[in-house]
């Protein structure tokens, strides 16, 4: 896999969190726990758990595709539709960095494209893939206010056997 396209994004995310660290360890631990719960919800395909982590006024963006979801119904549909193409999907956490206002999670999406995504014109290929990515969470009052997911679409398409 070519990780070069993600490297600037990862460095930026780590720098933002590192430079903005302030000192409330309890809040930092809570935000780290929220980030871990976020990935656990994705890995267990639990849309109710995922939605419970978000503020009512929120934004979820998949940066590589330009898709944005501004309410919980949109986020729920996004999770369901993403998992639909890869029912065996799991998300492994590589690292979590948090401060009082944000958390960044580096993860690996592991799955097999057994169903595909017909609504996007992507057929099932039965190819196993692993995609590395980063989610940057803005957290207010113990709820995710904004999530930006960064991963490489080209690597994904190659991994699922479409490119």
Extract the residue ranges of the chain whose pLDDT is less than 50.
19
Tokens found for residue 3: 């990780």
Tokens at 94, concatenated: 């590589």
Options 3.40.50.2000, 3.40.640.10, 3.10.450.50, 3.40.50.410; which CATH number does 4-159 get? 3.10.450.50
Give percent helix, percent strand, percent coil of the chain, each to the nearest 5.
Answer: 40, 35, 25
pLDDT tens-digit series, residues 1-23:
566 666 666 666 665 655 455 56
Instruction: Supply the pLDDT for residue 118.
Output: 87
- What's the pLDDT score for residue 58? 96
Hunting for tokens 């057929």 — which residue is that? Answer: 123
- The pLDDT value recorded for residue 2 is 63
Task: Give the pLDDT confidence score for residue 121 in this predicted structure.
Answer: 87
For 105, other C-beta atoms within 10 Å of its C-beta total 25
| Residue-level pLDDT at 120 | 83
Q: What is the pLDDT of residues 31-53, one digit of tens each?
A: 999 999 999 999 999 999 999 99
Residue 141: predicted pLDDT: 96
Q: Alpha-carbon distance 122 to 106, whole Å? A: 26
Measured at the CA of 6, the angle between CA 135 and CA 131, to 5 degrees, comes to 70
């Amino acid at each position: 896999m070519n990780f070069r396209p993600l490297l600037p994004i990862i460095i930026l995310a780590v720098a933002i969190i590192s430079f903005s660290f302030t000192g409330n360890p309890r809040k930092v631990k809570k935000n780290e726990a929220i980030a871990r719960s976020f990935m656990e919800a994705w890995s267990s395909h639990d849309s109710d758990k995922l939605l419970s982590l978000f503020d009512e006024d929120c934004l979820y963006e998949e940066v590589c595709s330009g898709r944005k979801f501004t309410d919980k119904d949109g986020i729920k549909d996004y999770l369901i539709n993403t998992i639909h193409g890869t029912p065996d999907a799991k998300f492994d956490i590589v690292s979590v960095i948090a401060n009082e206002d944000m958390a960044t999670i580096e993860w690996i999406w592991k799955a097999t494209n057994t169903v595909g995504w017909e609504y996007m014109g992507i057929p099932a290929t039965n190819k196993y893939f692993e995609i590395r990515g980063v989610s940057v969470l803005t957290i207010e009052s113990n709820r995710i206010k904004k999530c930006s997911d960064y991963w490489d679409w080209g690597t994904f398409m190659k991994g699922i056997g479409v490119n």
